Structure 1
Amino acid sequence: MTDVDLAVVDRIVDGTTAVLLLEADETVVDEYTLECARLPEDGRHEGAVFDVELADADDALGELRYRPELEEQRKETAQERFDRLSDRLPDE
């Protein structure tokens, strides 16, 4: 697997299983499913961002460190992008 920088909670299924998108250089490179209980409590929601380390040669997911400030920054960037796209072009 490519070196992974971040993991982002894409969705939570049935309140018990989290689907993480693994990113390298701001590109999704893989998907990983795990029990929500393995996530830090304050990061058990969609859109939560984590620093991630792979635990071993089998690419098992190791330690996850919740990054609320990075999550907020990503939300703001996405909102700014949406706002720019939603601006109407001037009439010509």
Structure 2
Amino acid sequence: MNREDIEKKLIEILTTHEIEHIFKPSTNIGSKTLSLDSVKFLKVCVDIENAFGIELQYEDAISSNFQTLEGMVQLVVARKNVSND
């Protein structure tokens, strides 16, 4: 699975949870405009873990790496140990 595949799958997960407006790499997931409550956030985390066969750590969920689509891609890449090409 390459970065493009990871990004597509993340977009699919986020769309399922009606979080479409973060597809711009600079949009902050934690911003007030997204209305991402804690329950939805946890559901997204579980879906990401299941989709990629990874286990997110507590520090992943609170770090800046989880605030944008690009950050999420980088997080999955790091957890899966996928090349960055």
Name the TM-score, length of structure 2 as normaliser.
0.26
More strand by share: 1
Larger radius of gyration: 1
More helix by share: 2
